[in-house]
Structure 1
């Protein structure tokens, strides 16, 4: 686990990192006294737990990494005392961010094949019966609607222990489960990855994959670094295959890098949105880390979306502008690298279902990506082509374009 230009000690000593935002946009606010502490010994864990002013919790990553993380509330004097310990690698604030989705179009009443799903070749795979059945996808986000007709059949049974988890409260009429989506973002992300092909609504890249809601963001979009790290650990400990994080921060986050390392060692591929800062060298974290597949966003014309972050952390590009997918009360078109990442997540599910080991599945996508003439800092290896990854040709079509079923038509 390394970070460009920083020694491990410098990186892990950095404080104030790790705020998360859904990649469709964010405004930061801080709660100054809550921290994530990275430690390398049980004594360090005990020390952090003993001085927390509120009940703490531990994220044990030692099955696959040297790290244990403790989330707690500490005074300034106690954080300095913790930093002085040789077995404490970092003390970082556990930031919140506010998030905002970006609607981009109204809907039409008919069933829609989203342009991105067709553009990356997924509809060609559906035609030959490739649907990613048996692959498990964790969606680290605002939750997933438990009742949306495009998603209900693909959700892991709620009665199964650990099938879904929530680290924040769900609020509102949509909250039929603790992990339900009270913001809409997670449902949209899940739909792009794995909406079922049921003859109405929309279809995802991997329409028979199993979805797991890992709710770390509330209805206002607030997400904690510690909750996201815990969610990644949960996916790895349950032997799922892919985990999607359509969220990020411009700050380095050693806790998320450690969680990504844990996932990879456990055989789970973590995917992350590159961010919406729209500038060179602006790829956010965790997407910029080597442990994550960092995804930039393209338009229907195969151009880089103007909002998309770009830089060395981009591994691959995928459709991210005017993407139609389910939301709890129907359907909506949204734009963001949040929308690009689940195309890659669904594609990884397809590749893994075809017999490729998770440890090399991302390499397969990079090797078969389509060069659309953009710089590597914008497209990475190229535009996602999941059909080519499984050995099929397709016409590069764009489905029903940017149209979307009418809102409320679910």
Structure 2
């Protein structure tokens, strides 16, 4: 194992600095971030104690109860220590604490706020007939949605009305540091991705701007990614657990990795056991059998991306794990201080998250909501590996006429172009 990380710090250098007082208070977390991080899944208390005791420095602990309870220890381990832990029967897994990435590519952005008369109906919202549901009064009221992402812009005019009270610290959490110019809150969005996702889920229609799938749902920011788009597995696990513990109804994860992660699967099992649904982007590898993690796990709803012509988007990952498809190419939504068009399964996933919110608000149980989405999805004539059950149809899932199939204002974005 390489003793030196990408910034040139060796384990010996870091520990020597700690011993001589050469590193400031808070060294533990800094060292852990620089060293070889692992997540240890302990089945028994003795295993958790052992994993904590052999971590080279500061460790973190995440309790996952449920039917198959695990204690996750996040620490820095030598090759010898990690191999020793793997041999224990009371250790379920030892995995690297990898960085996952956000599944989108930046598109055109506008920095101007929309004004009266500039309201845009994004093509995806129209194509899945969410606007039909809105006309029938279905808007997702009373449902709580967690956005595990880069944060949310709390001041965006299309989002602020639906954002859970920012003055209540329990409504939002941050595991990644906000480094932008507008870090009003620790969970503020310094990259724009989380705000874009949140807008598709629940932007509220007004005199201008855009509208989301469930414009009366309540949004909660769970910031695990920095402006660069990197997100630690352990932080995502902690965010999933937090959302489940709060009793929030559905969580969107527009992120992932090509590498399996038993820690993420365990977090998914914990959340589903608590009644929290998890919707995840399938990935942007553009190849067959390439659905990423956590979307590939059964505990997550895997969403592929379509374009405005009802074809599978060229970038979308496909495979037997895909559950449903949704618009993901040329999607207009909110950004920090404005609006923009982005591509990615990151943009497809929040359409489904908003649809789940709509069904839960209509009284469906979590499992019944998923069954109804699959049963009413529109067959686009694509393979099941591409579209899963088919294209999301919000109106049909709620029992409304879904014959519209329009594409709104296309890929235009406020102020419209």
TM-score, normalization by structure 2: 0.88
Residues 210-231 of structure 1, C-alpha deviation per residue, up to 9 Å, x if partnerless? 0000000011111000100110
Indicate how the Cα distance of structure 1 residues 149 and 316 shifts in structure 2: closer, same or farther if over 3 A, else same. same
Counterpart of 1:276 (choices 273, 284, 288) is 284
* Cα separation, 1, equivalents of 2:215 and 2:152: 15
* Cα separation, 1, equivalents of 2:166 and 2:60: 24
- Residue 347 in structure 1 maps to residue 355 in structure 2: yes
- Residue matched to 1:65: 68
* Cα separation, 1, equivalents of 2:150 and 2:300: 20
Given that 1:114 and 1:325 are in contact with CA atoms closer than 8 Å, whether structure 2 keeps it comes out as yes
- Residue 82 in structure 1 maps to residue 90 in structure 2: no
Indicate how the Cα distance of structure 1 residues 237 and 385 shifts in structure 2: closer, same or farther if over 3 A, else same. same
Partner of 2:395, secondary structure, is helix
Given that 1:99 and 1:220 are in contact with CA atoms closer than 8 Å, whether structure 2 keeps it comes out as no
Indicate how the Cα distance of structure 1 residues 137 and 238 shifts in structure 2: closer, same or farther if over 3 A, else same. same
Per-residue deviation at 1:89? 1.3
- Residue matched to 1:154: 162
* Cα separation, 2, equivalents of 1:332 and 1:106: 4
Given that 1:31 and 1:95 are in contact with CA atoms closer than 8 Å, whether structure 2 keeps it comes out as no
Given that 1:267 and 1:358 are in contact with CA atoms closer than 8 Å, whether structure 2 keeps it comes out as yes
Counterpart of 1:93 (choices 93, 96, 102) is 96
- Residue matched to 1:375: 383
Counterpart of 1:404 (choices 397, 405, 413) is 413
Greater shift after overlay, 287-296 or 50-59? 50-59
1:24-63 aligned within 5 A = 33-63=36-66
* Cα separation, 2, equivalents of 1:315 and 1:230: 25
- Residue matched to 2:394: 386
Given that 1:106 and 1:406 are in contact with CA atoms closer than 8 Å, whether structure 2 keeps it comes out as no
- Residue matched to 1:217: 225
1:133-282 aligned within 5 A = 133-282=141-290
Indicate how the Cα distance of structure 1 residues 298 and 269 shifts in structure 2: closer, same or farther if over 3 A, else same. same
* Cα separation, 2, equivalents of 1:340 and 1:99: 13
* Cα separation, 1, equivalents of 2:101 and 2:355: 29
Given that 1:119 and 1:397 are in contact with CA atoms closer than 8 Å, whether structure 2 keeps it comes out as yes
Partner of 2:248, secondary structure, is coil
* Cα separation, 2, equivalents of 1:32 and 1:99: 23
* Cα separation, 2, equivalents of 1:339 and 1:88: 37
Aligned residues: 379
Given that 2:150 and 2:229 are in contact with CA atoms closer than 8 Å, whether structure 1 keeps it comes out as yes
Counterpart of 2:309 (choices 297, 301, 311) is 301
- How well do the aligned residues superpose, as a CA RMSD in angstroms? 1.7
Per-residue deviation at 1:162? 1.6
Per-residue deviation at 1:74? 1.2
* Cα separation, 1, equivalents of 2:382 and 2:102: 29
Unaligned runs of 5+ in 2: 1-32
TM-score, normalization by structure 1: 0.89
Given that 1:154 and 1:210 are in contact with CA atoms closer than 8 Å, whether structure 2 keeps it comes out as yes
Given that 1:206 and 1:350 are in contact with CA atoms closer than 8 Å, whether structure 2 keeps it comes out as yes
Residues 334-379 of structure 1, C-alpha deviation per residue, up to 9 Å, x if partnerless? 0000000000000000000000011221111001100010000000
Larger radius of gyration: 2
Unaligned runs of 5+ in 1: 1-29
* Cα separation, 1, equivalents of 2:401 and 2:101: 42
* Cα separation, 1, equivalents of 2:61 and 2:405: 47
